[in-house]
């Protein structure tokens, strides 16, 4: 049996991309705040007073992962949970002042990291690359949530 050429396997390439991203993130952005944690902070900058489920949907994290990420951010003093005034059983998430400062600081660093990450590509290639991986990621969301329509953007 011959070896498989993994350079044509999307999962293998995605893992290598994730590994490169992780290394760059730790070197250029933060060793304390992870990329998923930053995504949660970012979601709450974009939209205030979201519940945990909605934050998970916005950033593409499953229920257990988003729960752990949010717990860590609360322990770090970057998020607060507040009872929803319209539904006392529901909790909304709110950035603390420190959470907002952390987001601002990391936003500058993530922009620099993304430049380095995409630097092997021309500007046009970067746009195409991001569009293609976004389409694949969007379609993959449908695999996690069977029965929900998959919306993909065409060029």
* pLDDT value at residue 88: 84
H/E run at residue 136: helix 123-144
Torsion of Cα atoms, 109 then 140 then 67 then 94, to 10°: 50
* pLDDT value at residue 143: 74
Task: Round to whole Å and give the CA distance between 88 and 83.
Answer: 6
Return per-residue pLDDT of the chain as tens, 155 residues: 999 999 999 999 999 999 999 999 999 999 999 999 999 999 999 998 899 999 999 999 999 999 999 999 999 999 999 988 888 888 999 999 999 999 999 999 999 999 999 999 999 999 999 999 999 988 887 776 555 554 544 44
**Which residue's structure tokens are 């990450």?**
117
Per-residue buried b or exposed e for 24-38, using 16+ beta carbons within 10 Å of the residue's own CB? bbeeebbeebbbbbb
* pLDDT value at residue 155: 47
Selecting from 1.10.630.10, 3.50.50.60, 1.10.10.10, 1.10.275.10, what CATH number does the domain 11-118 have? 1.10.10.10
DSSP bridge partners of 84? 87
């Amino acid at each position: 049996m011959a070896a498989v050429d993994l350079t044509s396997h999307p999962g293998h390439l995605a893992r290598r991309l994730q590994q490169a991203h992780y290394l760059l993130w730790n070197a250029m952005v933060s060793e304390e705040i992870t990329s998923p944690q930053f995504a949660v902070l970012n979601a709450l900058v974009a939209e205030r007073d979201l519940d945990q489920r909605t934050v998970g949907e916005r950033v593409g994290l499953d229920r257990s992962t988003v729960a752990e990420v949010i717990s860590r951010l609360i322990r770090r003093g970057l998020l607060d949970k507040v009872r929803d005034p319209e539904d006392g059983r529901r909790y909304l998430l709110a950035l603390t002042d420190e959470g907002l400062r952390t987001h601002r600081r990391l936003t500058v660093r993530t922009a620099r990291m993304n430049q380095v990450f995409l630097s092997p590509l021309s500007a046009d290639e970067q746009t195409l690359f991001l569009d293609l991986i976004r389409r694949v990621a969007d379609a993959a969301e449908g695999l996690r949530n069977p029965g929900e329509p998959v919306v993909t953007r065409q060029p």
